[in-house]
Structure 1
């Protein structure tokens, strides 16, 4: 058996449209890890809102968060941990210029902490609905460099905001605009993509690119799908991802598309476990 690295985006890929894991997905990934393969979550989500998924899958492998800016093994000290921060100074400067730039909400996060200028119920799965006193974004509470900023912006001022960020901080960060109906952008370390975290894990475990299988559905999966020896687009993926993928799942994320693809691809390995 050749050991593989199996890289999994979460939303729209491993998770169904209700952000849940199918029992078939949990069982299949657990079996593949038992068979000796490395199963790695590679997500744009912060760790704090994805660790429950990692735990539900009973994984022991590394995890990649913030689109590649954090690579770590949850609940453990790992010599390979990698963190690529943005600056505290930039975060506080944007907070000061919030009204001028048309920024509605600012959220700064690192591996274990979240700070926001105010609570919001606009997108409760991703942005904080409640804040303790020490979680309000200000110079006192934000004592170190965060990993990422999430910004809800006024759509009419999008061009102005992007121009100001490029002028002031373009050498260090780049904005990523969310897809879908939300006026939200993320700021992470310039040039960082999911591919970077995946490559870091592959080199740590000495796994060749040809033995990497990566699953994704959205634009932030592009570099990872292109990098993997076998990039697999979900049936529900956007056309851009399907164009560069080596293969496509027969089923979408609401019908355990990842699990069914992996069960067919690793049929012999899974049979050997029984």
Structure 2
């Protein structure tokens, strides 16, 4: 088989329900790398929440964070690294109008920085519950344009706030809505999507689209699965993603769906 680029969503896909890698998944992905294939993480997660997973897999390949707004090779300087940012004036407007937008938490991130208006609520584990003084988001502490804006809103206002933001800033931003119990809007620069990061990495390695296999489970994986030669939806994926995919894993993310699929598809030694 020709060299494949294997692009992996994390939550609900490569990670199990405990948000961790199983030993089977680690061994399988390392076996794929050792067989000459390129394994690359393409996630909506910020770098701070993905680097440990990258290191567990012992990867040396580019990784895309914030759904492709940041593409880089961790732990090294890479000439191909790129970042698409959002004008900080949008953050300042949100900060000034938190009540108007029903914002419960406002956070901005970059590769190596995190600022928030306050610590995350106890029920929301994606962000730090306590933050240092120099991590408090203010007009003074926001010195550069961020890569990502994340806002936690009151659930009943989720659609209203999304529509308000698109009305005011639709020419400059994309808004993703997280699945799960919390009403979270994730904002990145206009035009950002996982498929663009996958294309960029494939071009870097000289790999044709037909030799890219991508795994995903949620709406932010849609363009990626549609773009690649072989888009694979998880058994636990949304109906929309299953409808786009070329194939569906036999097992879900809690039962090594990605690992079992790749072992068979790449004919990896067990």
TM-score by length of structure 1 reads 0.95
CA RMSD of aligned residues (A): 1.4
The 2-side partners of 1:123 and 1:40 are apart by: 31
Secondary structure of the corresponding residue to residue 99 of structure 2: helix
The 2-side partners of 1:190 and 1:67 are apart by: 12
| 2:197 counterpart of 1:197 | yes
Q: Indicate how the Cα distance of structure 1 residues 152 and 28 shifts in structure 2: closer, same or farther if over 3 A, else same.
A: same
The 1-side partners of 2:122 and 2:175 are apart by: 20
- Asked if the contact 1:116/1:128 (under 8 Å) is kept, the reply is no
Match of residue 231 from structure 2:
231
Secondary structure of the corresponding residue to residue 71 of structure 2: strand
Deviating beyond 6 angstroms after TM superposition, the runs of 4 or more aligned structure 1 residues are none
Secondary structure of the corresponding residue to residue 91 of structure 2: helix
TM-score by length of structure 2 reads 0.96
- Aligned-pair distance for 1:160? 4.0
The farther-off stretch of 192-201 and 123-132 is 123-132
The 2-side partners of 1:125 and 1:197 are apart by: 27
Match of residue 75 from structure 1:
75
- Aligned-pair distance for 1:142? 1.3
Secondary structure of the corresponding residue to residue 98 of structure 1: coil
Match of residue 153 from structure 2:
153
- Aligned-pair distance for 1:122? 4.1
The 2-side partners of 1:188 and 1:123 are apart by: 24
| 2:12 counterpart of 1:5 | no
Unaligned 5+ runs, structure 1: none
Pairwise mapping of residues 80-229 of structure 1 onto structure 2 (< 5 A)? Answer: 80-229=80-229
- Asked if the contact 1:172/1:190 (under 8 Å) is kept, the reply is yes
Show CA shifts across 1:146-175 (max 9, x none).
Answer: 001110112333344234312321110022
Q: Indicate how the Cα distance of structure 1 residues 101 and 62 shifts in structure 2: closer, same or farther if over 3 A, else same.
A: same
Number of equivalent positions: 270
Q: Indicate how the Cα distance of structure 1 residues 19 and 61 shifts in structure 2: closer, same or farther if over 3 A, else same.
A: same
- Aligned-pair distance for 1:136? 0.4
Match of residue 249 from structure 2:
249
- Asked if the contact 2:155/2:182 (under 8 Å) is kept, the reply is no
